[in-house]
Structure 1
Amino acid sequence: MSLQSPFRAVLFDLDGTLLDTAPDLGGAANRLLERDNLPLLSRKVINQTASQGSLALVKAGYGLDLEEAQYQQLRSEFLENYTAHVNDETTYFDGIDTLLDALDRHNIVWGIVTNKPTLYTQQLLEHYPRLASCAVVVCGDTLDVAKPNPAPLLLAANNINIAPENIVYVGDARTDIEAAHSASMLAVAANYGYIPSDDPADTWQGDHIIDRPEDLLAVLGI
């Protein structure tokens, strides 16, 4: 690690930041839509919706005029479908291996803080042993609150025993930047992730925006 760098750890969001999970999230939605003889979601719509969660994908496909009970039933069916196909097409984003290799070489601790529930996070990380063995994993239901609340980030910082001001948080949603700022961490927007067209990353007031995972190395000064 560069002597000039104050950063001792990097925490990452998962979907849209480390892993390109959109094909499998979108696939779960599209299998339901196909079953119900409805138009399928395009990859563009999937990418722009994936960071907003399962219910957002359901509403993107089924519209906004259903009863709440119908949405919850569809969400349940979506999650059942997703868990059966959690890693059919998911991959690392290009450059993630290079980035993680560099962090390891420079003894920078790294971990994951995601709003994805523990069940689906664990199922997914079974396919990615390197991610599963990171220093800390905090999921969306680890605490009673999730991002943009800073508590999950602060829990991760406590678990790795590194002060928040010495940690970088990287994510592809406005809520990630808000959580990082509230936790007194350096906030980095992953512009290669699932960015909504009506909420571009350059409006989030992050400390940095990166267009490729490797661009984080310059932010870290390594």
Structure 2
Amino acid sequence: MIDAVLFDLDGTLADTSADLGAVLNRLRAEAGQAPLPAATIRPHVSKGVRGLLGIGFALVPGDDGYVELHQRFLAYYGDSLCVATTLFAGVPGLLASLEAEGIKWGVVTNKTSRYTLPVMEALGLGRRAACIVSGDSSPRPKPAADPLLLASTLAGALPARCLYVGDDLRDMQAARAAGMGAIAAAWGYLGDGLPLEAWGADAIIQSPGELTGLLR
């Protein structure tokens, strides 16, 4: 029996790629570079600012200019958190279904609380979630188990009776480390690494509505 379903935020519950991509392209414009198309940016969104600066400027932490660009990215994003961000199709119905069945749901993301909480509020989810665990809520972020275990405690559910749904390999790694069911969201950003089938997920679902079939 499943008592709680936990979700990644970016690329699983919410499509944040347009807002994050707009910030990246703003930085590129300031550097005299052409904008990147959405299809190029999208696979890197789940990797956060590090991944976006990697695709946008070929920079990694430690490179000259990385820290300054990272800080500017976060400042710009903080001013435009939820301009074009929306819930993925099927997510509102899924959350309503979970609530109707008495199954708690929450969010576990590596996004820091400074950005997570305003996005959740803007999407109308902040007061509905049983827990919201951000990247700065626990000592170690995903793929460590820490944030998922914290979420299960906050939701009042045993880890073995929780599912974690995400669109990145580290989501599946975190779920396994926490002893939760690992569900891969095929509608998400997915990245450009190992194929989805190699992530070790307990199940791969093509749309949010398919999750309800795993709860019975």
**Could you say which TM-score interval applies, normalised by the shorter chain?**
over 0.9
Over 3 Å counting, the alpha-carbon distance change for 1:67 and 1:161 in structure 2 is closer
Q: Does 1:208 align with 2:203?
A: yes
What is the CA-CA distance between 1:130 and the residue it aligns to? Answer: 2.5
Provide TM-score, normalisation by structure 1. Answer: 0.93
SS in 2 for 1:16: coil
Match of 1:52 among 37, 40, 47: 47
Corresponding residue number in structure 1 for 2:151: 156
Instruction: Report what 1:165 is aligned to.
Output: 160
Which residue of structure 2 lines up, in the alignment, with residue 3 of structure 1? none
User: What amino acid is the match of 1:163?
Assistant: L
What is the distance in 1 between the residues matched to 2:142 and 2:99? 26
What one-letter code is carried by the residue in structure 1 that aligns with 2:191?
P
**Deviations 1:52-100 (Å, cap 9, x if unpaired)?**
0102101211124896240111011111111111111100000001101
> Which consecutive residues of structure 1, in runs of 5 or more, have no partner in the other structure?
1-5
How many Å apart are 1:201 and its aligned residue?
1.4
**Count of residues in Structure 1 that have an aligned counterpart in Structure 2:** 216
Give the conservation status (yes or no) of the 8 Å contact 1:39–1:61: no
Moved more, 30-39 or 8-17: 30-39
Aligned residue number for residue 15 of structure 2: 20
Distance (whole Å) between structure 1 residues aligned to residue 160 and residue 132 of structure 2: 19
> Which moved further from structure 2: 104-113 or 36-45?
36-45
Per the normalisation by structure 2, the TM-score is 0.96
Asked if the contact 1:55–1:71 (Cα under 8 Å) also holds between the matched residues in 2, the reply is: no
1:219 maps to what in 2? 214
Q: Secondary structure at the match of 1:10?
A: strand
* 2:116 equivalent in structure 1: 121
Is the 8 Å Cα contact of residues 138 and 150 (structure 2) preserved in structure 1? Answer: no
**How do 1:1-222 residues align onto structure 2 when only pairs under 5 Å count?**
6-64=1-59, 68-221=63-216
Cα 1:74/1:100, change in 2 over 3 Å: same
CA contact (8 A) 2:106 2:131 kept: yes
* C-alpha separation in 2, matches of 1:43 and 1:99: 27
Give the partner amino acid of 1:26. Answer: G
Distance 1:46 1:66, change over 3 A: same
SS of 2:183 mapped into structure 1: strand
Letter paired with 1:153: L
Amino acid paired to 1:196: G
Is the CA contact 2:98–2:104 (under 8 Å) kept in the aligned structure 1?
yes
SS at match of 2:122: coil
